[in-house]
Structure 1
């Protein structure tokens, strides 16, 4: 598989190079030059496979020829063998208060209870494999609003060839996640608290990657969803969820609590690979730049307002650039100019053709803090247990659209 930059001015690379590069030299994000396509028969075969087997089948075209199918399969088996559910990603039917035929995709069965475990447990092993093959090392630099940091640290601790530096916004992550990040005793793990927001942390990381001399001198790599491997690994649970609920030919919609756009973009990629996705619903908290963009056609940065769902307290959703690239017919020149405008003017009006395609594939909604609180209470009264605030954002948006 070959990969190109969304901004059209960086070398075309194979998977191993993209894995270690993270951000492209021109500041863009790597995406495949084409997507593999699964038939209905292929999708039907997933119903009899384990999660690790589906992951191997789905990801094999993306990693070939850098990684063999057997080696990928072994890493997938090892990555998911430690999850607390044998299904890795179980499915639960929602109470009827949230509508008929509605299901919860449970993404919290990994070692840190974060959905990021699903991609990062595999990503840590992919890094170690590729670094060993090349007899080299990297410094992984990441930004986190909470869950990426703890999951990345768990995935990379004590791995050969890896030093990990994680930036998080001071007093803007949950106390549990702060402790998960800062109490790991591994010598290759380094935490830095930044005065500011997640976007400030992300800007620092992007700035380091954009400085080619600094990047090469320190051999920087990324585990944030700017790294294509993260997004690719997340496509897998869209396939497994669909196979558990609807089968290979029944269209499904997915409502996804959304911050940096990596998770829901993985759903879009799954649809491009043949999964029959009817709608993808962006669920935002009150930091609702993507919902506003969907409504108005103008992507405008506002101040980040803290919430009870801090992993979504984001105004610059990095992976949205990948979607814009696909919706603009892979026009890197246009996107390079568009992102420069967005950064300098803090807003961007989408071209009508791009906006139309955005609305064809996605719906969007947002939830206030009061709505999130009510949803958590309603779910408890209906089901006898709790959902976290991020999940409650998604459930609130589902209720709005019921």
Structure 2
């Protein structure tokens, strides 16, 4: 399978897009042709373990990696000792027509582990094949950073430079990242918000001379390797949610997904799952108060906010106002026209917005996207409500997903709510909602008390270039 940029240029195969990150022309890598699977193939996957299913799904996109090698990589990524739940991704009925998809059983207790654990194995494999090294530059609003660092820590050919917004993450999230002492892990707290961090990553990725000299790569959701690995749990969840249905109608039995959304990578993976053949009826996009994406899917006008306008909320991993993965969807929406895609982003740069309002009805009618916004009061009420009705504690982001999903629950169509993280990562919000937070475990107390290693830098590309140039591996 070959990959192209959303701006039109050829990129290469799966192994190439793993280490490339942002395309040289400033676009994002997408398959030249989207693979599809039949209902019979989907049904044949029903009895597979998560690791074996991952090899099948990712194998649709990673055709340049021998299947034996890919299976070895997925088994290493999803080894039982890395995940709290025996089934890797458990499904739990939480009532009101909704099922929780447990994506936070991995080492950092967040859904980002599901893709990052695979990416760590796959990148090391590709680098070993080519005898090269890679310096990963990423940005995080909360969970991507720790998931990436735990996936890449201690790897000989890789260093990771992770940007996080100064003072904008929870104490638990900071401790998970900043307590790592591995020499190849570099934590940088940027004086700004997540969008400033993301802008720095894109600026350096577009500096082709610096990128090549320092062997820069990316693990943010702009990396298609992460997108491909996230498609797996949509397939897994559909297989589990329809397992009890009559065998004759299972093949086309529809489900819907509710997805807490910030950078649009997770829900984009659901859209791709639908394209390959998973019977998905509705994709419910849940925003927090930084509801640029909700505004876009309701009005057709995409207007990112400035850093000053981006709010610090109680679901901090969604405090994003410039959704980098939206370009992949827009590329499809405009008929995979790279010139029109590039033109819309030029318009965005010149005017601060672009306008597809004349076509906004297509979002739901053709693609199944609906959206909504959840506020601080909403998420507190939702956490409290499900604790009382289902005896389950939702983290703030997942509560946003459940709240926005409720009006879209349909009789006979399972609503699968994707979990963002374990609630113990956000004890202050849980305590505000329920009156008290769960007693921290000995492991959590040790994590919070561990010494932290982080450096503060300004939101300045030259300062970041200098920092990386002094510490890059393989330079």
Give the TM-score category using the shorter length: over 0.9
Q: Give the Cα separation in 1 of the matches to 2:273 and 2:143.
A: 23
- Give the equivalent residue in structure 2 for 1:84: 84
Q: Does 1:258 align with 2:261?
A: yes
What is the CA distance between 1:366 and its match in structure 2? 0.8
Q: Does 1:275 align with 2:274?
A: no
What is the CA distance between 1:103 and its match in structure 2? 0.6
Q: Is the 8 A contact 1:142 1:165 kept in 2?
A: yes
Q: Give the Cα separation in 2 of the matches to 1:273 and 1:301.
A: 30
- Give the equivalent residue in structure 1 for 2:53: 54
Q: Is the 8 A contact 2:11 2:23 kept in 1?
A: no
* Alignment deviations for residues 221-269 of structure 1 (CA, whole Å, 9 cap, x no partner): 0000000000010000000100001243201110100010000000000
RCO higher in structure (CA 8 A, sep ≥6): 2
Q: How do residues 232-381 of structure 1 correspond to structure 2 at under 5 angstroms?
A: 232-246=228-242, 247-302=250-305, 303-350=309-356, 352-353=358-359, 355-360=360-365, 361-381=368-388
Alignment partner for residue 109 of structure 2, among 113, 119, 127? 113
Q: How do residues 72-221 of structure 1 correspond to structure 2 at under 5 angstroms?
A: 72-81=70-79, 82-95=82-95, 99-100=96-97, 102-221=98-217
The number of aligned residues is 395
What is the CA distance between 1:351 and its match in structure 2? 6.2
* Alignment deviations for residues 358-384 of structure 1 (CA, whole Å, 9 cap, x no partner): 232201111111011100110111122
Which protein shows a greater Rg?
A: 2
Partner of 1:12: helix, strand, or coil? strand
TM-score of the superposition, structure 1-length normalised?
Answer: 0.96
Partner of 1:63: helix, strand, or coil? coil
What is the CA distance between 1:160 and its match in structure 2? 2.1
Moved over 3 A (4+): none
What is the CA distance between 1:346 and its match in structure 2? 1.6
Q: CA RMSD in A?
A: 1.1
Q: Is the 8 A contact 1:242 1:248 kept in 2?
A: no
- Give the equivalent residue in structure 2 for 1:7: 7
Q: Is the 8 A contact 2:301 2:357 kept in 1?
A: no
What is the CA distance between 1:159 and its match in structure 2? 1.1
Q: Give the Cα separation in 2 of the matches to 1:351 and 1:17.
A: 36
Change (3 A) 1:228 1:345: same
Q: Does 1:385 align with 2:406?
A: no
What is the CA distance between 1:61 and its match in structure 2? 2.1
Q: Is the 8 A contact 2:299 2:357 kept in 1?
A: no
Q: Give the Cα separation in 2 of the matches to 1:60 and 1:385.
A: 35
Q: Give the Cα separation in 2 of the matches to 1:46 and 1:401.
A: 28
What is the CA distance between 1:113 and its match in structure 2? 0.2
Q: Is the 8 A contact 1:248 1:275 kept in 2?
A: no
- Give the equivalent residue in structure 1 for 2:449: none
Q: Is the 8 A contact 1:2 1:12 kept in 2?
A: yes
Q: Give the Cα separation in 2 of the matches to 1:173 and 1:308.
A: 10
Q: Which runs of 5+ in 2 are unaligned?
A: 243-249, 410-475
Q: Give the Cα separation in 2 of the matches to 1:356 and 1:368.
A: 25
Q: Give the Cα separation in 2 of the matches to 1:174 and 1:329.
A: 40
* Alignment deviations for residues 139-189 of structure 1 (CA, whole Å, 9 cap, x no partner): 000000010000000000011210100000000011111111111111100
